[in-house]
């Protein structure tokens, strides 16, 4: 069995996800384990599964044992050291939410890059500090191991300037108030997969709809992002599990000036209490809402559908018409009912749905002769990170990067 391994880390405020890939003799990556410590600071719990999904470790912790992401990564590191005793850690790849304007590709993290990524914390205060905390801990323990940062924003750096701007005075653009776009690793995966599933579509105009608990849509031309529904933060665009999607900024002024909400109150409202949860008053989970008979649950679903359909129309206009539509992520991959309703609302685009294929889950769910092809492609954001990590490690070995 190969000794060389790559560790992938996705560190958030309340969970640390990690996976380990073995690098075979032919430099093929094979998943060895996937794990996570969730409930950090509340009910810390570790669960690690091997490639057959068999549980290889499971444990609860006291809050003080794992009260922050640093402690989580310390613990995961100890566990991994023991489980992969004779292994050689080649590199660590991290999911990092924000790469700002400078990083349009994954990057090897050195002192200067780390400092630049720290400067971006104000742009993503809920995620970036945790992503960087994980890099810092690994650097302390294994300073010789290369670490690679893969960004959620990078894929969208191909946006034209018009899709990068807000109509605010220029000084704000200069200070970083731009439309960055998110879910980039997911869209990159879709763009990388399209040539295999439909070479004709890969070169065309495609809208990818990443509909999960976070949701966004991306307009792609020949596999490059031209526009997307998320902007400065992952709050904009279509409604999500707990985020409202597009909101008149006047509402925020009203909430601050008339209702007395503080910045912290607004953050909680916009990131955790709105969207499907806020509208339904029941749940942020689409499955729960679909099973509910409560009128507000149905209303929340209708609201979601309305804005997804509206954004598809908007992005189709940006692209000057579309050749394909791709559904991905939890709702997009698993709900034929939601897909059918969205496609019904997009019939004017010339989509002719293969109803049986839709119920089966695709992969192609439009009729052969449909002018717009519709596909269901399961995303695998976390698979992009080991690929990028390996590519950069090889380049480093060859001296192409520092």
Residue closer to ligand ADP, measured from CB, 331 or 390: 331
Tell me whether residue 132 or residue 338 sits nearer to ligand ADP (CB atom).
338
Told to check if 142 binds ligand ADP by CB under 6 A, we report no
By CB atoms closer than 10 A (0-12, 13-18, 19+), residue 320 is exposed
**DSSP letter, residue 271:** I
User: Residue 4 or residue 334: which is nearer to ligand ADP going by CB?
Assistant: 334
Neighbours of 276 (CB within 10 A): 26
Say which DSSP state 297 is in. H
285 part of the interface to ligand ADP, by CB under 6 A? yes
What is the rounded CA–CA span in Å between residue 73 and residue 306? 41
Q: Is 193 in the site for ligand ADP (CB under 6 A)?
A: no
Q: Is 248 a catalytic residue?
A: no
Q: Which residues, at least 6 apart from 303, have a Cβ–Cβ distance to it below 8 Å?
A: 239, 279
Residues 6+ apart with CB under 8 A from 180: 98, 100, 123, 153, 156, 230, 231, 232
Exposed e or buried b per residue across 168-179, where buried means at least 16 C-beta atoms within 10 angstroms of its C-beta: eeeeeeeeebbb
124: CB partners within 8 A, 6+ apart? 97, 98, 233
Residue number with CB closer to ligand ADP (130 or 205)? 130
Cα(273)–Cα(113) distance, rounded to whole angstroms?
Answer: 34
**Given 60, 152, 265, 380, which residue is catalytic?**
152
- Reading the block at residue 20, the tokens are 């380990």
Contact 179, 166 (CB under 8 A): yes
279 binds ligand ADP (CB under 6 A): no
- Least distance (Å) between residue 378 CB and ligand ADP: 10
Among residue numbers 233 through 252, which ones bind ligand ADP (CB under 6 A)?
241
**Contacting ligand ADP within 79-118 (CB under 6 A):** none
Number of chain residues interacting with ligand ADP (CB under 6 A): 13
Question: Per CB under 6 A, does 277 bind ligand ADP?
Answer: no
**Secondary structure class of 46 (helix, strand, coil):** strand
Q: Say how far apart CA 171 and CA 304 lie, in whole Å.
A: 34
Task: Choose the stretch contacting ligand ADP; rule: CB under 6 A; options: 192-200, 210-218, 258-266, 309-317.
Answer: 210-218
Residue 146 sits in the site that holds ligand ADP (CB under 6 A) = no
16 binds ligand ADP (CB under 6 A): no
Q: What is the DSSP letter of 26?
A: T
| Contact range with ligand ADP by CB under 6 A, out of 27-35, 211-219, 220-228, 310-318 | 211-219
> Using CA atoms, how far apart are residues 179 and 227, in angstroms rounded to an integer?
9
Q: Which stretches of 43-189 are assigned E, i.e. beta strand?
A: 45-50, 55-60, 88-96, 107-108, 147-151
Q: Which of 331, 374, 384, 390 binds ligand ADP (CB under 6 A)?
A: 331
Choose between 107 and 331: whose C-beta lies nearer to ligand ADP: 331
Among 93, 212, 275, 362, binds ligand ADP (CB under 6 A): 212
Q: Which of 100, 330, 362, 386 binds ligand ADP (CB under 6 A)?
A: 330
Q: Mark the segment that binds ligand ADP (CB under 6 A) among 298-306, 308-316, 329-337, 357-365.
A: 329-337
Please report how close the Cβ of residue 335 comes to ligand ADP at its closest, in angstroms. 4
Which stretch, 37-45, 150-158, 291-299, 331-339, contacts ligand ADP (CB under 6 A)? 331-339
Report the residue from 3, 59, 105, 287 that binds ligand ADP according to the rule CB under 6 A: 287
48: Cα separation from own chain's centroid: 21
Least distance from C-beta 211 to ligand ADP, angstroms?
Answer: 7
Q: Which residues in this chain contact ligand ADP in the complex, by CB under 6 A?
A: 212-214, 241, 285-287, 290, 329-331, 334-335
Residues taking part in catalysis: 152
């Amino acid at each position: 069995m190969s000794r060389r391994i790559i560790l992938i880390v996705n560190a958030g405020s309340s969970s640390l996800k990690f996976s380990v890939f073995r690098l075979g003799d032919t430099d093929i990556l094979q998943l060895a384990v996937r794990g996570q410590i969730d409930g950090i600071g509340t009910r810390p719990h570790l669960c690690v599964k091997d490639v057959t999904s068999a549980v290889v470790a499971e444990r609860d912790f006291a809050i003080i044992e794992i009260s922050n992401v640093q402690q989580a990564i310390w613990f995961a590191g100890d566990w991994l050291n023991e489980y992969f005793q004779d292994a050689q850690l080649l590199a660590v790849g991290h999911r990092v939410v924000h790469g700002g304007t400078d990083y349009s590709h994954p990057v090897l993290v050195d002192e200067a890059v780390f400092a630049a990524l720290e400067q971006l914390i104000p742009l993503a205060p809920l995620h970036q500090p945790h992503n960087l905390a994980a890099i810092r801990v690994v650097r302390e323990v294994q300073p010789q191991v290369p670490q690679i940062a893969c960004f959620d924003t990078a894929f969208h750096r191909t946006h034209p300037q018009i899709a990068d701007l807000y109509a605010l005075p220029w000084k704000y653009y200069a200070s970083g108030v731009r439309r960055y776009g998110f879910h980039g690793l997911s869209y990159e995966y879709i763009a990388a997969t399209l040539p295999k599933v439909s070479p004709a579509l890969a070169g065309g105009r495609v809208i990818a709809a990443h509909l999960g608990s976070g949701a966004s849509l991306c307009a792609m031309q020949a596999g490059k992002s031209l526009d997307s529904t998320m902007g400065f933060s992952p709050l904009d665009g279509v409604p999500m599990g707990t985020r409202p999607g597009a909101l008149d900024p006047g509402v925020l002024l009203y909430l601050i000036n008339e209702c007395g909400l503080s910045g912290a109150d607004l953050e909680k409202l916009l990131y955790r209490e709105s969207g499907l949860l806020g509208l339904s008053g029941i749940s942020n989970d689409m499955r729960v809402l679909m099973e509910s008979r409560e009128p507000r649950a149905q209303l929340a679903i209708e609201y979601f559908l309305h804005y997804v359909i509206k954004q598809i129309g908007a992005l189709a206009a940006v692209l000057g018409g579309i050749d394909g539509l791709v559904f991905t992520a939890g709702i997009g991959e698993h709900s034929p009912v939601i897909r059918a309703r969205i496609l019904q609302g997009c019939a004017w685009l010339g989509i002719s749905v293969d109803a049986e294929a839709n119920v089966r889950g695709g992969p192609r769910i439009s009729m052969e002769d449909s002018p717009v092809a519709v596909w269901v492609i399961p995303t695998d954001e976390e698979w992009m990170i080991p690929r990028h990590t390996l590519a950069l490690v090889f380049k480093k070995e060859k001296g192409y990067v520092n």
